[in-house]
Structure 1
């Protein structure tokens, strides 16, 4: 098998030799008993052809190699491994993965030769390669070999997170990965308040993975990557492609992009800055930049373009400086003797030196640059420190192995030789441990140790940051020059920004201090729609705790085209409810009235008024826990849920109940008035603070009867709430002899024909409303916009309540009535709680920003919609007012949360015991008993302990009745005036009500119909009518045909009149008299008014196939 492997390797080497010919002047080998091999870029990729390197030297790579060589020289001189010297052989890859693989295959062949020949010079490992794309391919090859041939690769500059893949089992990486770098960028951008940026990245393993990680994590912090530009790397960087990138940044149609993140090489960065500097000379624009660690803190590159690079940020691993090596490097380039000594083992030094001199350094007459020249010009190279650490760690592994195998003897003992030659995978131990470099003949400026954890990436422990951020700005110690100054430290998952060091530069080069610096955001007057989160179904308001209550509120409307998506944010009865629930929990935790030994958390969900979405969310939480915006998952949630506060809408409460009762969890709704929710066989563990619609319907009908309004219509929402209310009204109306002339169902966003539907029964002037809370305002606005004054009067359900925004500037609503469910908030500081949120920089409630922007038609700094041009100011001030008026359902949500908390505590204390830290099985196994504790809860309302539930768990507070009247202080303003109340115990109580004209049937046919209605013989009023001659009742298709024919005739007449230009207005003249007056008269009027066509089925009939309008 070994021979076959060697044969195969020989074939691979032969094939690769044809493509990648060996350099004629490789680095000189220095083998002293044991050798390690290194892969370094040395030459840049630009200009290579068919795998050949360019003549442009990569100075940083040459310096990295020199750092490793210097380290080994120091260790060998100090006899670090007794009797053993470590040598290195270096190979140039030119940033070409194919060349790296070629050399790696040769290394593997040497490993096989070691296995076969114990007298051969052992190869102990590989240092590098430097680029992530090279490292990924070489490691994939080596990791595919049998363990005994797998050479460890110690990486010091390849940062791609792909290299954390444990399948690449031979990797030991000492430099932090891009996973950390992208976290730092994400935190730093948030601190800078940059949230509208672009990313430019080289389309390599490094660039792609860094971009993907940043784009994935940035969205959790509300940072929008509006554009991304992959740069293809070939023979050269395409200059025109970089020019196109700049064009796109400056001309982005949505909004100009002023902040750019770069994952590119120094060469690409330099080319881009050159383009920007050239463009800047002829036009004005602002571009703020953040470069990744790949530019290696090269100050000289930024200095070449300082007219555009000033203020630029660079993220970087911590600099691991070894001053002795820095002095050594400067000495090589300034001292001819040092240069000639090191050139023998590092021929690439000559190309570096040519940056300073043009003469031949091997000639006596050639003068070297001065030490000051070199020290001033040479950049701080972040990778050299990590190259030294990688070399130390690799040699330390051999040192430990020597100590273990040779038992104190010098040199390579037999057992060590066997391991070195035949068990490459044993040359380093990745198992969890701490490595402290002792007896090292030099020192780092920072004290640290290496923590191994069995994975590919090591950690550093000690007086050292995990990552750092630098800014190119005026030097802190010499203000006339520009330096890369550290402005942020990252460690322990947090970023500490030194805001006192942050600066920006105006166009006239003046420094702008934090926090007045420019920010990369959506431009004023623009709407950056690509960044707005349209579907907020995954948003969650979360606070951790020992136990949880779950709350739900319809913060958004539903997306009518998708039952799993959300629509626009609501301006009432949504966001404030979430704050009320969170306040109840925070208040309990602060005062420790209940659960004194535990902390209560909350999970508040946005139902978006979507039953299917509600079920999905609850099931997901019960099964999978809670996924937070940063990706963290809180597991084992279902076993810690004490109860649920849900919801406002009846259909949502139904959906929630069907899920929760499967988990034996008690639910308390703060709204949800539909009668069907009173069924305890169907909804076993459900309670609600609101009084059911059964009582409300009776109240509305009783009001109609008492005011002699006996001919009415019903306008109701599609769904459980509206349809249930309609059914309750029908039942109550039949019992009270109040005739329902018409039932009109209202579908969401389809309101244009509602007024026409009402006008089909013009004498049924009183309209009972059962419309959902987020619908009622829009429907009323549409109706009253076109209706005549006093044409209709409304008696509205609690969803209308006392909402001032509905009656504002709407005089046609005068004398209408509404019912309201009310619960006082005395003794609670909800307004102070909400007002305190105004000082939060980042709102914990994920819906706060979008709600306040929509409610106040303004934008916050950092908003993605600045089309309003008005910045939000003092938007919390209403919660600092003494006469605060809450949304109707917010007090109910707060009290429902208190019922859940108090009820859970009472049941928990008796069932599980006060000292229990977990919810015991009896609490879950006996939900009816828990429900009973909840049902017995009282609330302190206006200082009086009040029972709020009846025996069935329904609310028993009753309704308050209001009439809409002109204000006594300003007759132009309408206001709600309390005129009565209704409850099961006291029934209807009315006073101070303004007169509403009675409504009755207009003719005998109507009375006949109403008689049928009272007796329950009208299945569908739209399909039933009487004729004027008492010839019987014609039903079914005849009526449908009549409606169709009449509608067609009316439409034709209308079109003909319009076409002839005769119609200014048609006003309907109604004549009611004896049965011979059977023709409806139409006469022209000289003013424009809408055409009214009445199609009341009680007012026409079919006889002898001719249409007769009965009057």
Structure 2
């Protein structure tokens, strides 16, 4: 097997030699002489063409290699491993993965030679390479070898998250990965209030993975990456491509992009800044930038373009400074003796020195730059510290192995030699432990130790940040110059921003302090639709606890084209209900009235009034727990659910009940009036505060009968609520001898023909409404817009209720009636609870911002829709008013939540016991008993303990009846005036009502029809009101044809009638009038006052 592997390696080496051997231009990307090999990017990355390197030196890479070489010399001089010196061979890669693999294959071949020949110089490991794309390919090759040949690969600058893949088993990485960096960026952008940005990244392993990670995490924080620009890397960076990027940023049609995140090399960053600086000389624009760690805190690069780089941010791992090496580096470049000494083992130093001098340093007459010139020009290099740590960690592994195998003897003992040559995988232990560098002949400025956890990436413990953010700004200690000053520290999953150090710069170079700095956001007057989350299916309002109640509310309407998607946000009976439910829970936790030894959490969902979506959400929570916006998953939720508050819509409550009863969970609805939900065989563990539509329908019909309005129409919504209400009205009407002339079903967003449908029965002037709460306002607006005054009068269900926005500026609704379900909120501080949230900068409730913007036609800072041009101010003030008027269903939602909490506590206390910390099996196994505890709950209403459920678990509070009248103080304003009530116990009670003229059949045929209706012998009169705008041509042609035919027939009939003397009143012969055949007289309803 060994021979075969060696043969294969020989083939690979031969092939790679043909491609790379002839390229002798030095360059480095870092690999380690008991021997240690290093791969370094000594020549600056410029891609490759047939493996060719550029002639530009990568100073940072040369410095990194020098740092490793210096470290090994220091350790050897101190006899760190008794009797053993560690050497290094360095090879250039030029940031070309193929070159890195070529050298790696050679290393692997030498490792096989070690295995066969124990007298050869052992290779103990590899340091590098520097670039993530190189590291990924080289590690993939080495990890594919048998364990005994796998050389450990210590990485100090390759940060791609892909390298955390445990299949790349030979990797030990000492620098934080991009997973941390992108998390830091996400937190930092949020605190800067930047939420509309672009990302420019090099299309390499490093750039792609960093961009993908940031894109994935940023959206959870409401940060929109509006544009992204991958940059292809070749022999040189394509200037025209970078110019195109800038053009697209400045001319973005949706909104100008002012914030840009970069995952690029120093070369690409420098080229882009050069283009920006050139462009800014002829035009005005603002561009704020955040660069990743890949520019290595190169202050000199930013200084070259400081007219556009001032205020720029740079994220970086913590700087691990070793001052002794910094002095050593400066000495090499300023002291000829030092330079000549180190040049022998680091030829790339000559190319670095060329930045300062043009003469030949090997000539006596050539003068070196001064120490001051070097120290002020050389950048702080973040990677050199990690290169030193990687070298130390690798050598420390050999030191531990020497101690274990050689038992105190110096040099390479036989057992150690055997391991060094034949068991490469044993040269370092990745198992969980702490490594403290002792007896090291130099020190870091920060104290830390290395924590190994068996994975590819090590951790650092001690007086050190996990990550840092710097800003290029005026130096804090010398205001006349610009420096990279630290402005944020990241650790323990939180970012501490030093806001006192944050600045921005105006066009005249004046400093702007936080929080008045410019922010990268959607521009004023623009709607950034690409960033608006159209489908809010996954939004969740969550608070953790020992136990949970689940709440649901229709914060959005449904998407009519997809049962799993949401539509627009509702302006009433949605968001406020979520706040009412959360208030009930927070109030309980604060007062400790129930569950005194536990904390109650809540999971509030947006049903979007979609039954299918409701079922999906509940099943997902029961099976998989809750996934929070940051990606965290809260498991084991179903076993901690005490009960559910759901919902307003009857169809939603039905869908929820069908899921919840499978898990034996009791449900309390705050709305949901459909009669079908009274069926306890079908909906076993369901209760509701609202009075069922059966009672409401009886009330509406009783009102009609009492006012002698015996010829009516029904207008109802498609779905459980509307169709159930229609059925209940029909039953009550037949019993009370009230004739229903027509039943018109209304489909959402199809309202244009509703008035025409009503006019088909002009004598049935009273219209009973069973329309869903989120459509009733629109339907009424469409009808009354073209309706004549007093043409129709409405008796509306509780969905109309006392909603002032429906009657505002609509005088045609005068004298109509509505029923309302009401429950008092005395003794509750819901308004104070909501008002207190006005101080929250980032609302915990995910729907607050969208709701308030829609409700008030304004925008908050950071909004993606600023088309209104009005910033939201004092939008919470209505909750600071003494005469606050809540949405109709908010009090019901609050009390339903209290019923769930109190009922759960009562049942939990008796079934599981006060000291139980979990929901016992009996609580789940006997849901009917739990339901009974819920059903027996009373509420304190206006200081009186009130039973709110009947024996079946339906609400028994009844309805309040209102009439719409002119205000006594302002006749131009309509208001709701209470004129009666209805309940099962008291039946109908009416007073103060402005009487409406009776409505009845106009002729005998109508009476015959009604007689058949009472006896149940008429055909279905239901009509579907549809928008016919798409069939205008066909309808128009049909009407023309019909007019011609009917005109001809009418003329013939008229002649016959005249001839026979049979002309009589047509009105007397028809049971109801068809307006398509006869003109209507102005016989509308009148009011007797």
TM-score by length of 1: 0.93
Q: CA deviation at 1:532?
A: 0.2
Q: CA deviation at 1:49?
A: 3.5
CA deviation string 1:694-731 (max 9, x = no partner): 00000000000000100000000000000000000000
Change (3 A) 1:1032 1:566: closer
CA deviation string 1:366-386 (max 9, x = no partner): 110000000000000000000
Change (3 A) 1:1033 1:395: closer
CA deviation string 1:797-822 (max 9, x = no partner): 00000000000000000000000000
Change (3 A) 1:991 1:1027: same
CA deviation string 1:941-972 (max 9, x = no partner): 00000000000000000000000000000000
CA deviation string 1:1054-1091 (max 9, x = no partner): 9999999999999999999xxxxxxxxxxxxxxxxxxx
CA deviation string 1:735-760 (max 9, x = no partner): 10100001000000000000000000
2-side partners of 1:42 and 1:520: how far apart?
A: 37
Question: Does the aligned pair in 1 maintain the 2:765–2:1085 contact within 8 Å?
Answer: no
Matched, 1:10 2:10: yes
2-side partners of 1:839 and 1:857: how far apart?
A: 20
1-side partners of 2:223 and 2:16: how far apart?
A: 46
Change (3 A) 1:27 1:239: closer
Change (3 A) 1:405 1:717: same
Change (3 A) 1:336 1:1058: farther
Q: CA deviation at 1:997?
A: 1.1
Structure 1 partner of 2:1082: 1104
1-side partners of 2:1059 and 2:575: how far apart?
A: 52
CA deviation string 1:333-373 (max 9, x = no partner): 00000000000000000000010001111111111000000
Change (3 A) 1:1007 1:396: same
2-side partners of 1:1033 and 1:372: how far apart?
A: 87
1-side partners of 2:1085 and 2:856: how far apart?
A: 55
2-side partners of 1:89 and 1:1026: how far apart?
A: 82
2-side partners of 1:535 and 1:1030: how far apart?
A: 28
Q: CA deviation at 1:48?
A: 4.8
Q: CA deviation at 1:4?
A: 1.2
Question: Does the aligned pair in 2 maintain the 1:675–1:694 contact within 8 Å?
Answer: yes
1:980-1059 equivalences under 5 Å are: 980-1021=980-1021
Q: CA deviation at 1:1023?
A: 10
Q: CA deviation at 1:21?
A: 1.4
1-side partners of 2:937 and 2:872: how far apart?
A: 41
Question: Does the aligned pair in 2 maintain the 1:1005–1:1099 contact within 8 Å?
Answer: no
Question: Does the aligned pair in 2 maintain the 1:1027–1:1110 contact within 8 Å?
Answer: no
Question: Does the aligned pair in 2 maintain the 1:31–1:86 contact within 8 Å?
Answer: no
CA deviation string 1:588-629 (max 9, x = no partner): 000000000000000000000000000000000000000000
CA deviation string 1:813-855 (max 9, x = no partner): 0000000000000000000000000000000000000000000
Q: Specify the SS of the correspondent of 1:773.
A: coil
Change (3 A) 1:827 1:723: same
Question: Does the aligned pair in 1 maintain the 2:575–2:847 contact within 8 Å?
Answer: yes
Q: CA deviation at 1:7?
A: 1.1
1-side partners of 2:972 and 2:622: how far apart?
A: 53
1-side partners of 2:934 and 2:458: how far apart?
A: 54
CA deviation string 1:877-927 (max 9, x = no partner): 000000000000000000000000000000000000000000000000000
1-side partners of 2:735 and 2:955: how far apart?
A: 24
Q: CA deviation at 1:1110?
A: 31
Q: CA deviation at 1:23?
A: 6.1
Structure 2 partner of 1:181: 181
CA deviation string 1:960-1014 (max 9, x = no partner): 0000000000000000000000000000000000011110100001000000011
CA deviation string 1:424-449 (max 9, x = no partner): 00000000000000000000000000
Q: CA deviation at 1:54?
A: 1.6
Change (3 A) 1:781 1:525: same
Greater CA drift, 1054-1063 or 718-727: 1054-1063
Q: CA deviation at 1:46?
A: 2.7
Q: Specify the SS of the correspondent of 2:113.
A: helix
Greater CA drift, 1056-1065 or 637-646: 1056-1065
1-side partners of 2:446 and 2:221: how far apart?
A: 33
1-side partners of 2:393 and 2:1027: how far apart?
A: 103
Question: Does the aligned pair in 2 maintain the 1:1023–1:1035 contact within 8 Å?
Answer: no
1-side partners of 2:1053 and 2:835: how far apart?
A: 61
Q: CA deviation at 1:52?
A: 2.0
Greater CA drift, 394-403 or 25-34: 25-34
Q: CA deviation at 1:1021?
A: 3.3
1-side partners of 2:563 and 2:794: how far apart?
A: 31
1-side partners of 2:635 and 2:11: how far apart?
A: 53
Q: CA deviation at 1:11?
A: 1.1
Q: Specify the SS of the correspondent of 1:1024.
A: strand
2-side partners of 1:907 and 1:444: how far apart?
A: 62
Change (3 A) 1:982 1:1040: farther
Q: Specify the SS of the correspondent of 2:124.
A: strand
The alignment yields a C-alpha RMSD, in angstroms, of: 5.9
CA deviation string 1:202-253 (max 9, x = no partner): 0000000000000000000000000000000011100000000000000000
Question: Does the aligned pair in 2 maintain the 1:771–1:799 contact within 8 Å?
Answer: yes
Question: Does the aligned pair in 2 maintain the 1:257–1:520 contact within 8 Å?
Answer: yes
Change (3 A) 1:1026 1:209: closer
Greater CA drift, 539-548 or 46-55: 46-55
Change (3 A) 1:200 1:33: closer
Q: CA deviation at 1:77?
A: 0.3
2-side partners of 1:1043 and 1:288: how far apart?
A: 69
2-side partners of 1:836 and 1:17: how far apart?
A: 72
2-side partners of 1:524 and 1:342: how far apart?
A: 59
Change (3 A) 1:84 1:23: farther
Gaps in structure 2 of 5+ consecutive residues: none
2-side partners of 1:1058 and 1:517: how far apart?
A: 89
Question: Does the aligned pair in 2 maintain the 1:1099–1:1110 contact within 8 Å?
Answer: no
2-side partners of 1:516 and 1:1034: how far apart?
A: 61
2-side partners of 1:888 and 1:1055: how far apart?
A: 61
Greater CA drift, 1035-1044 or 354-363: 1035-1044
Question: Does the aligned pair in 2 maintain the 1:1009–1:1025 contact within 8 Å?
Answer: no
Question: Does the aligned pair in 2 maintain the 1:28–1:89 contact within 8 Å?
Answer: no
Structure 2 partner of 1:674: 674
Structure 1 partner of 2:826: 826
Question: Does the aligned pair in 2 maintain the 1:27–1:347 contact within 8 Å?
Answer: no
Question: Does the aligned pair in 2 maintain the 1:1023–1:1036 contact within 8 Å?
Answer: no
2-side partners of 1:47 and 1:646: how far apart?
A: 60
2-side partners of 1:279 and 1:936: how far apart?
A: 75
TM-score by length of 2: 0.95
Question: Does the aligned pair in 2 maintain the 1:1039–1:1102 contact within 8 Å?
Answer: no
1-side partners of 2:180 and 2:219: how far apart?
A: 16
Q: CA deviation at 1:1046?
A: 6.5
Question: Does the aligned pair in 1 maintain the 2:32–2:90 contact within 8 Å?
Answer: no
CA deviation string 1:384-403 (max 9, x = no partner): 00000000000000000000
Change (3 A) 1:1071 1:645: closer
Question: Does the aligned pair in 1 maintain the 2:48–2:96 contact within 8 Å?
Answer: no
Change (3 A) 1:528 1:1039: closer
Question: Does the aligned pair in 1 maintain the 2:276–2:308 contact within 8 Å?
Answer: yes
Question: Does the aligned pair in 1 maintain the 2:744–2:1022 contact within 8 Å?
Answer: no
Question: Does the aligned pair in 2 maintain the 1:53–1:94 contact within 8 Å?
Answer: yes
Q: Specify the SS of the correspondent of 2:962.
A: strand
2-side partners of 1:1106 and 1:995: how far apart?
A: 14
Change (3 A) 1:1099 1:661: farther
Change (3 A) 1:394 1:1096: same
Change (3 A) 1:726 1:1033: farther
Change (3 A) 1:176 1:1038: closer
1-side partners of 2:404 and 2:1061: how far apart?
A: 109
Greater CA drift, 355-364 or 1031-1040: 1031-1040
Change (3 A) 1:916 1:1048: farther
Q: Specify the SS of the correspondent of 1:350.
A: helix
1-side partners of 2:1034 and 2:373: how far apart?
A: 109
Greater CA drift, 614-623 or 1055-1064: 1055-1064
